[in-house]
Structure 1
């Protein structure tokens, strides 16, 4: 009996590129659904809730249910719930992160929190960063949703979670624990959310340093697509390789049941 595959896939650079649908993605997802193949869309972006991201994808013409979207904010909340159920946190971030923490029963506070949790926001506050530094110095554990140093905008790069985490680390001497990709913890939490196993799950991504690395370290087969960050040439610079390199997910249409045949 042939193996039934499950799919984890990055969002930006795989499904959409600069707010536009990657050609063939709608047909690819339709084929997954028609074949009863389970899938989950992953993103290191902690700003938005799954509902927000579903609406964003819908504007490109793609229908992805909230339950099929897994963010670094959700992974962070699940991780903290296993570490210290019902704990408290001082949060720098947006609704995607605060909502995820509230949903696992966390209290958000600036009074003696168990954790300082750093996520992504378009409006990093010097006052909030200063408060985070002082709380870490006073004993709060330092968690960050993802290590991405910059994020894209129409005007150019923006400082992101990894860059601000480096600032807090330099000021306090305490390193954060990053939950999102390339931490394989993000992959394992996604597998649990999908009720899937690594042996028959593959990861599709556009970045060697996050998507492919996280997939490999979690024991997944990996596919690099060339519709985002990494290219054939830059992929050669890494000491590891994906299982396959494809131009886009459109190359999987007609092969979703046996992606490695």
Structure 2
């Protein structure tokens, strides 16, 4: 088994499910920390800040610092900063996205934007979407934190950011740049954060269609665990398979020590 110099670790379904830690999550992170192997928690969640996500992990017994969390909001802010520093941005989203954009030096505006950025917004309104459409039609760049059309909740699968993004895309005829998994943008940014080559990093996750495909698209080896959304049975006929498949992270740590 190859020994990796860094890890990218999914959250929902890999570290926790709802408000409960996934079995083996804390053991796995303690294992990486003990080996002094750097890692980033990598999430499409754009609504929460690094600090909020780290606090949740710690409350669940998974040791985490805020600087070990990299969200689709941060990746979006970094992606735009490479295009234009101090960009004027019309944003639809929640606290995590607003904070990431302003922390990276961008200016949030209500009109005459350089970019329209959309993330999950549970207080979405026609007025917000209408203004976004007007800005895109005037030539603003169109960026979406992720393409998730549905997200798992205690109530069931609810509309995700990809569904909200589609309203603007359909109305304007302009396709957005998606940043989050499975797109390679967030992976490229995360590798820069780790300061490691793609050959030396392992992407760990439970969702074949986001985590695993993100690794594949970026040329990063992948470990799929069966603790969340996807099952090994449902992907057995897929042409492209994860580099490794383990029932849980306990299994990975045990085999790593052999």
Residue 245 of structure 1 corresponds to which residue in structure 2?
A: 245
In the alignment, structure 1 residue 10 sits paired with structure 2 residue 15: no
Q: How does 1:1-261 map to 2 (within 5 A)?
A: 3-256=3-256
CA distance in 2, matches of 1:255, 1:156: 35
Root-mean-square deviation (CA), in Å? 1.5
TM-score, length-scaled by structure 2: 0.95
Structure 1 counterpart SS, 2:143: strand
Q: Which runs of 4+ in 1 moved over 3 A?
A: 254-257
TM-score, length-scaled by structure 1: 0.94
CA distance in 2, matches of 1:247, 1:18: 19
CA distance in 2, matches of 1:184, 1:139: 24
Structure 2 counterpart SS, 1:152: strand
| Structure 2: segments with no counterpart, 5+ residues | none
Structure 1 counterpart SS, 2:58: helix
Check the 8 A contact 2:120/2:164 in 1, yes or no: no
CA deviation profile, 1:106-152 (whole Å, cap 9, x unmatched): 11001200011000122212210111111111211110000001122
CA distance in 1, matches of 2:92, 2:253: 41
CA-CA distance at 1:83 after TM superposition: 0.7
CA-CA distance at 1:19 after TM superposition: 1.8
CA distance in 1, matches of 2:204, 2:197: 16
Check the 8 A contact 1:32/1:256 in 2, yes or no: no
Check the 8 A contact 1:31/1:256 in 2, yes or no: no
Kindly tell me the number of residue pairs found equivalent between the two proteins.
Answer: 257
